[in-house]
Amino acid sequence: MNTPSLEFGQVTIYLGAKNGKYPDGNQVVVRGSDTKVVFDTPLVANNLKRELKGTDMVILGHVHEDHTAGIHLLPDSLVLAHEADVDAIRSMEGLLRHYGLPPKLNAQMAQFVTDEFFFQPRPDAKSYHSEQSWDVGRSTITALHMPGHTGGHCALLVEPEGVLFIGDIDLSGFGPYYGDGCSNLQDFRRTLDRLKEIEAKAWVTSHHKGVITDRKTFLDMLRAFTAKIDDREAAILRVIGEKPSTLHDLVTHRFVYPDWYEELWAESCEIYTITQHLKELQGVGAVLENNGLYRLAV
């Protein structure tokens, strides 16, 4: 079956299953007149062997298992990742550090990314820096550093097409994910602010929402996505307001995933997410901590 695709000048976007819903993703290919580039390689890349043939460069917008699932198909292509993420593609140890799971889960996680996402480390991967540009012939690609989801997460802008690949700022109903060891909530807030200011004609998400071509629609979706951060904060404040709570109490409560969600990383994600909110709330004096017990300041 043919993979559905959209074209903008030299850029083609191949949509993964369900518009790239996790575990799949959307594949961007830039056929520059000199250089052929792909952004990430989600699972759908494994159905696009013909389309990916002759790829010169894989530019990873960020490193996660679902964005590197086709790298094994491209052993001769140059692999690039932002300097803050590059260790995660160079080795399995680097990837596991990136997630920051409790060490007892690392063996299972390594198995998971290998079995489900064909993860193959690329010790030869090169790093790129924030705002780096590549001239690929009649199109230019620029990396806009938009950290938060991971430390090196970048949006990739292709001009003159005006295609902006925004990766895991995926505008989904789930909201922003900042639940890994390398995630940062405050960076994510700044990233979401900055993203509003970038001019583009088409916004390409890695997952679920696919391609958006209307600026107003994009801004509405971005607003709803951003609001999820405040929803989580409000939910944490509500629970603490009812009863002073330990981090453990809050983790049991769950603010990111529903109770039934039992993936390997679920608890770790809750811990990272809640901890970052608590730190922010303590910073503005809304929450106080005493002997591991968090309560409202008022």
Which residues would be at the binding site for Zn ion (CB under 5 A)?
Answer: 64, 168
Shortest distance (Å) from residue 149 CB to Zn ion? 6
Q: Which helix (H) or strand (E) holds 268?
A: helix 266-283
The minimum distance between CB 133 and Zn ion, in angstroms, equals 23
What sections of 76-121 are H helices per DSSP? 87-90, 92-99, 106-117
Nearer to Zn ion, 27 or 139 (CB): 27
Counted residue by residue, the chain has a size of: 298
Name which of 64 and 254 has its Cβ closer to Zn ion.
64
We find the least distance from the C-beta atom of residue 74 to Zn ion, in angstroms, to be: 19
**Phi, psi angles (nearest 5°) of residue 98:** -60, -45
**Least distance (Å) from Zn ion to the CB of residue 91?**
18
Nearest CB to Zn ion, comparing residues 60 and 158: 60
Would you list the DSSP string of 49-109? HHHHTT--EEEESS--GGGBTTGGG-TTSEEEEETTTTHHHH-HHHHHHHHT--GGGHHHH
Helix (H, G, I), strand (E, B) or coil at 91: coil
**Nearer Cβ to Zn ion, position 141 or 169?**
169
Give the angle 127-129-133 at the CA atoms, nearest 5°.
Answer: 105
Query: Who contacts 260 (Cβ-Cβ below 8 Å, separation ≥6)?
Result: none
**φ and ψ at residue 20, rounded to 5 degrees:** 90, 20
Between residues 30 and 88, which has the closer beta carbon with respect to Zn ion?
88
Closest residue to bound Zn ion by CB: 64
Residues 212, 203: Cα–Cα separation, whole Å:
5
Q: Report, in Å, the least distance between residue 207 CB and Zn ion.
A: 9
Looking at residue 41, its amino acid is: T
Q: CA-to-CA distance for 24 and 207, rounded, in angstroms?
A: 7
Q: For residues 64 and 209, which CB has a smaller minimum distance to Zn ion in the complex?
A: 64
Closest separation in Å from C-beta 109 to Zn ion: 14
Give the span between the Cα atoms of 66 and 73, in whole angstroms. Answer: 14
CB of 167 to Zn ion, least distance (A): 7
Question: Closest CB to Zn ion among 153 and 232?
Answer: 153
